[in-house]
Structure 1
Amino acid sequence: MTKTTKKPTTGLVIGKFYPPHRGHKYLIDFAASKVDQLFVVVCDRSSQTIPGNLRAKWLKEIHPKTKVLVVNDIEKDDDSLAWAKYTKKFLGFTPNFVFTSEDYGHDYCRHMGSIHILVDKKRVHVPISATKVRSNPYKYWQYLEPCVRAHFAKRVCVVGAESTGTTTMAHSLAQKLKTSWVQEYGRFYSEGRLYEPENSKWDTTEFSHIAHMQNQFEDALAKRANKLLICDTNSFATAIWHERYLGHQDKQVNHKSKNRHYDLYLITADDIPFVQDGTRDGEHIRHWMHKKFISELKKHDQKYIVLKGTHRQRLQTALSSCQRLIADQKTAPS
């Protein structure tokens, strides 16, 4: 007598997830608890400002045990039969169960031959929608998962010549705004070189490493950000420091900052006394560095503000500028 093996049950959650939020997470977690294998399908349109592949990447991070697929949206929202046929075609099978929070699920499942499970239609458990999130992600920040928060977090980078208060400013801003801040990896690295021979020279590979690590620090802490992420320097600034020490910029180092977006740069002016901390050697070129940051940011069409005066004056200017970044949020296109 042969023993029969129970066929695994399959489930489907389909949507735009534009963007994913904790309402989606509730739905997917519920579905995953009811079936052996869950498929999550992201419907992508070229007009959407957040690519489908990026939304899928987030969903894979949030739900690592689910199978996440991206398909082109056929843009027939009211045609349940067309969607049922399309779904069976790209899946290659008919799922046993389909989990939705919408009324469309009934006809969709009837045409597909699946069982519809309606979950939290009235949004009682998680009162949020993707439309609300797109209208102002900062207002509904608590409904976003860390990887999605990292995408929406406004990035503010503090740069400046040596001993102009960049680290003090970055720390103070983060403290006032109650958010995460990214410390300067290059400083840790420089301190590690303190006891090398005096004639020990810097090389490009070191700056490339510093830029890479700075990016890693930043991307990790962006997930912890409270709407804004404060950065004490970045890989763009590392390329300028490469020029300061080696006399020229380098393509390899410059590439580290490619496609990295910052909403605002804060340049700490060189109008305060130079303080020697044991690692600094650039008092004589502080003004050159200050001007260099301004010229490079202008060259790359980056938004910046120069902070002058006392620390209190600088901090007030910086805080006002950061708060405007959130207040100026505009509705994202649907």
Structure 2
Amino acid sequence: MSAAFAHGLIVGKFYPPHAGHHHLIDTAAARCARVSVVVTASTAESIPLALRAAWLREAHPQAEVTIAPVVDDVEIDYADPEIWSAHVTVFRHALALAHGGAPEIDAVFSSEEYGPELAHRFGAAHVGVDPDRGRFPVSGTMVRRDPASCWRWLSPAVRGHLARRVAVVGAESSGTTTLARDLAAHYAARGGPWAATRWVPEYGRTYCEEKLALARRRAKATGLPKPWLDDLEWESPEFATIAERQLLWEDAAARTGSPLLVCDTDALSTSLWHERYLGVASAVHPRARHDLWIHTSVEDVPFEQDGWRDGEAVRHRMDARFREELALRGLPHLVVSGPPHARLERAVEAVDALITQGWAFAAPL
């Protein structure tokens, strides 16, 4: 079936994109030979233009859809014809950059009241799409006001960006994994958008197990004695790899989870283990995405040797280093001690406070 229009146009802030936006773009793509989506953002807004454009390109990879980002710092006044003209000039500039010239537009797709006027100024037909938000009862304003209540309307990329990330950190055998698992289960039990709350395990443990297994295979093949943990030699790039892969695990989990992601360790922890094994702090620090750190104290937790841990003396030394670094870096954190139920109660109080703060978005222009 041939397309109803040659070139459709959509203009919006996509601050941030949601299901209504995606429906609008998909509808236009189904009815046009090609579609241009002009993404406008003012310099006063807190989600970068490039990030919004990347989210839309990921969600709409069709060859016929072109994402055209542009900075638009013109004030909003739909009653002022001069302001209207200024906006249209910006839109045409975005189209010219995206297409290497000034393309003809024969249809404007919109769910907004300004849609007909925008179509008129491009000399194009107006196609209204779900203007009463009956199919997708969501708007950018609603998302910015309360992302959690709009979670089901957000794409994986936007969820990954907005999810609150809590890192549970501490020395060996201090209950980090127990608390991370219990904290995630507590929020998942709340249901609704929180039902998908997940916790991300420690990649460093997996890396260490694989490293030892490889060393043992090599030793067996050459007739050498079976190596143990203390026999392993470490290099600085390995810790950078562990930190980066930990973040990849986090990002993947955040895209499919709830508004909260619980992380068992972080890049700070990896840098401290780099210090422990190589004697100097790591110079590589992957981008941090966490909103809160929970330090599990070694107090009230008996040391358990599972065959992978250094020992009691090292545990206390590392516990002190975590306290020092969290305070030195000024990271938002709390220290939990006592039995598991007490630690969980304190952690929930802190996470609830974080969630109550909400998400901070700069007001759109």
Q: Does 1:129 align with 2:139?
A: yes
Task: Give 1:147 shift.
Answer: 0.9
Q: Paired residue for 1:118, among 128, 148, 151? A: 128
CA distance in 2 between counterparts of 1:6 and 1:29 reads: 13
* Aligned twin of 1:82: 86
Aligned counterpart for 1:107 among listed residues 109, 112, 117 = 117
In structure 2, how many angstroms separate the alpha carbons of the residues matched to 1:7 and 1:319?
A: 54
Residue 267 of structure 1 is matched in structure 2 by 295
Partner of residue 235, structure 2? 203
Q: Does 1:22 align with 2:19?
A: yes
- State which drifts further: 188-197 or 311-320: 188-197
Amino acid at match of 1:285: V
- 2:205 aligns with 187
Deviation, structure 1 residue 74: 4.4
**Number of aligned residue pairs:** 326
> How many angstroms does 1:8 deviate by?
7.7
The residue aligned with 2:219 is none
- Contact 1:94–1:114 (CA under 8 A) maintained in structure 2: no
AA in 2 matched with 1:47: A
2:218 maps to which residue?
none
User: What is the CA–CA distance in structure 1 between the aligned matches of 2:156 and 2:55, rounded to whole Å?
Assistant: 9
- Once the two structures are TM-superposed, the CA of residue 168 in structure 1 deviates from its matched residue by 1.2
Contact in 1 for aligned 2:5/2:31 (Cα 8 Å): no
Q: 1:44 aligns with which of 25, 41, 44?
A: 41
CA RMSD of aligned residues (A): 1.9
Change (3 A) 1:160 1:68: same
Q: Which amino acid in 1 is paired with 2:290?
A: Y
When residues 6 and 296 of structure 1 are mapped into structure 2, their CA distance, relative to the original with a 3 A threshold, is closer
Encode CA deviations 1:48-69: one digit per residue, 9 max, x unaligned: 0111111111111111112111
Alignment partner of 1:164: what SS?
Answer: coil
Alpha-carbon separation, structure 2, partners of 1:248 and 1:280: 20
Contact 2:3-2:32 at 8 Å conserved across structures: no
Percent identity among equivalent residues?
40
Matches of 1:141 and 1:60, distance apart in 2:
20
Of 162, 169, 194 in structure 2, the residue corresponding to residue 159 of structure 1 is 169
Secondary structure of 2:246's aligned partner: helix
1:95-129 Cα offsets, whole Å, 9 max, x none, are: 12110112212122212111111111111111111
1:275 and 1:113 map into 2 onto residues whose CA distance is 74
Asked whether the 8 Å contact 1:158–1:170 carries over to 2, the reply is yes
Distance in structure 1 (CA, Å) of the matches to 2:179 and 2:7:
53
1:54 aligns with 2:51: yes
Deviation at 1:175, TM superposition (A): 1.5
Name the CA distance, whole Å, in 1 between partners of 2:298 and 2:90.
62
SS of the residue 1:194 aligns to = helix
Q: Does 1:306 align with 2:338?
A: no
Contact 2:151 2:159 in 1 (8 A): yes
* Change in CA separation of 1:157 and 1:6 when aligned onto 2, cut-off 3 Å: closer
Contact 1:14 1:42 in 2 (8 A): yes
Superposition pairs of residues 152-301 of structure 1, within 5 angstroms: 152-178=162-188, 179-195=197-213, 196=215, 197-198=227-228, 199-251=231-283, 253-254=284-285, 256=286, 258=287, 260-271=288-299, 272-301=301-330
Deviation at 1:331, TM superposition (A): 5.4
Q: Which runs of no fewer than 5 residues in structure 1 stay unpaired?
A: none
